[in-house]
Amino acid sequence: MELDRIRYSLVWEDSKTLYNGLEITPADQVLVITSAGCNVLNALLKNPATVTAIDLNPVQNRLLLLKKHLILNYIYPEFRNLLGLEGPEQVSETWAKVAPTLPLELQTYWAPFFQCHPNGLMAAGKLEIYLNSFFYTLQPELQEKLQQLITFKNVAAQHRFFLEELHQTAFQQQFIEYFDEANLSKGRDPKLFKYATESGGATFYKRLLNQLSSVLVKDNFFFRFFFFGPEGIPQQVLPPCYQEQNYSLLRAQLHKLKVVNSEAVDYLLSEEGQSISKASLSNIFEYTSPEEFNKVYQKLFADPERNLRIIFWNLLQEQGTDLLNDPWAKPLLSESLSGADGCFYFSNVRVQEHAKVPTRATEISIPEDKTGFIL
């Protein structure tokens, strides 16, 4: 695993699923895998007590800390420009303006980055460069048809156009080949496929086809970014943390942020991590065997005195779906969230929760969900 570069410059787990899955309250101490920092910032917008951002890769944490500094010290248009939402010309002009005003350490570290990544922060990750390059492998007529998908105003017309103009054409073949196991490793860690139960390209194409039949993709941030990059995405389609209307609130919440270079599960099991009540674990279990996952899962929920809810995403595995009589599963919530309109390439999302065993005096007030498990 590369720990010396930005592997992800965007968080692909959507904020709606994060919010509905964790149900963050002002009393919660939240742990979020840093990645590009998007969901760390999104979590802060829900006004929790604290948010701990954690990542094994110190460069991912550096990216978040740069965003924190920009949000605290610069106006929204400058932040937006450096993300790359207004195109490379604005990235260059804004960096030339901002760089001399940065602390020397930040200026020294990030100057070479912006020289190598003229499209800005949001498109600079190893995965994002790989994904955004697909569009340019297509013939111009296929590029034009793909772009037409974000002009439709109803799902039926969008889906019909895709079936008639792109499905079972060179687009389908090129998509499957580009995102197969061998090529996907150019954008993601090859370990992703060690325990995978599904293939890459063909599986992702089926999920894309399903999304086009159920979601209006012009309003889907991840579809637009996946194929066309950050430029030109409407303000209202952006993740909440990158919308201008939330900028002041985000700035006001940043004092609650703590950044840790470590492994998330180890931290949750540590003494320091015992205070965490909600955790977003991205798709970290994609890299573990089912046996390893079950061991970790049992450890996370072993303490009867602990309140903990976790959410994680499955990509090419089905972690957490084969546990029989699982007292911590929230299957109805997980199923409803898996049908949401986030990024098409995820398989599903799982929410698991362990509630502290009550004393006798409070047993009569225990609620139950529809599965019969104590909440």
Indicate the SS3 state at residue 30.
strand
User: What local confidence, expressed as pLDDT, does residue 354 receive?
Assistant: 87
Give tens-digit pLDDT for 281-334: 999 998 888 889 989 989 999 988 899 999 999 988 888 776 656 788 888 899
φ/ψ (deg, to 5) at 309:
-120, 135
Tens-digit pLDDT profile for residues 53-64: 999 999 999 999
Largest alpha-carbon pair distance within the chain? Answer: 70
Helices 88-98 & 76-83 angle (0-180, nearest 10): 130
- Average pLDDT value over all residues in the chain: 90
Strand order in the sheet with 50-55: 257-261, 50-55, 29-33, 278-280, 308-314, 348-354
Which of 180-194, 249-263, 350-364 is predicted most confidently?
249-263
pLDDT band at 227 (very low <50, low <70, confident <90, very high): very high
Calpha distance 174→336 (Å, rounded)? 32
- Interstrand relation of 308-314 and 348-354 (parallel, antiparallel or unpaired): antiparallel
Least confident of 107-121, 156-170, 302-316, 346-360: 346-360
324, burial (CB in 10 Å: exposed 0-12, middle 13-18, buried 19+): exposed
Spatial separation of the C-alpha atoms in residues 79 and 241, rounded to whole Å: 11
> Is the Cβ–Cβ distance between 1 and 191 less than 8 Å?
yes
Task: Give the burial string for 218-251 (b: 16+ CB within 10 Å, else e).
Answer: eebbbbbbbbbbbbebeeebbbbbbbeebbeebe
